[in-house]
Amino acid sequence: MSPRKSAAEARHTRERIIERSVAVASVEGLEGLTIGRLAADLGISKSGLLGHFGTKEALQIAALRRASEIFTRAVWVPAAGAAPGLARLTAICEAWVTYLDREREAFPGGCLFTASAVEFDGREGPVREAVARLYTVWRRRLTRDIRAAVEHGELPAGTDPEQLVFELNGIYFSLNHAVQLFGDASAPDRARRALRRVLS
């Protein structure tokens, strides 16, 4: 086997591991990512799987990064071309509802970020730090568009961007909870009504 083919196969195997890890973690949490479980699911050896990541922690962080890429493609990219301010904020919010309602293939158990935030908020270590970093990036993106909306007169001058980000996150945590725990088909529309109220 040529070195080039060997490297391509290694990359392909790593991708399969990460994709499966994201799906498992969305259902069972990041702690559900056991080397034995994933190796059995993918038909590879434990040592072969460990060779790609070294530790369970590294695998968990790789799964979070992939989930972030999926989230970015589903939520940020569709809205990125909208004008900064309320137009983009509204587009982001709609894409966010759609993502939580429809992104079932990648996240069969619901939003991995919501699950991992709850799973790791009381812990210390690199995985918790990775979750917090990803949330911080997202909160900053939302804050920038809220500030732009205030500057353009699209939101009231006294709007507190951090408070509004807090409320937006609350709506989406509640949406994920309603969809996942109760199978509430009306939850996306409820979320949209809540969004219209807080962004009016």
The CATH number of whichever domain residue 125 belongs to comes to 1.10.357.10
What range defines the domain where residue 67 resides? 3-199
Asked whether residue 83 carries a pLDDT value surpassing 60, the answer given is yes
Please give the structure tokens belonging to residue 193. 């009504």
* Overall domain count for the chain: 1
> If we measure between CA atoms, which residue out of 46, 43, 44, 19 comes closest to residue 34?
46
Q: CA 200, CA 198: separation in Å to the nearest integer?
A: 6
Provide the sign of the torsion angle of the four alpha carbons 91, 94, 99, 102, taken in this order: negative
Does pTM surpass 0.75?
A: yes
Q: How confident is the model at residue 85 (pLDDT cuts 50, 70, 90)?
A: very high
Token pair 């909870």 is found at 177
pLDDT top residue among 30 and 109 = 30
What's residue 137's pLDDT? 92
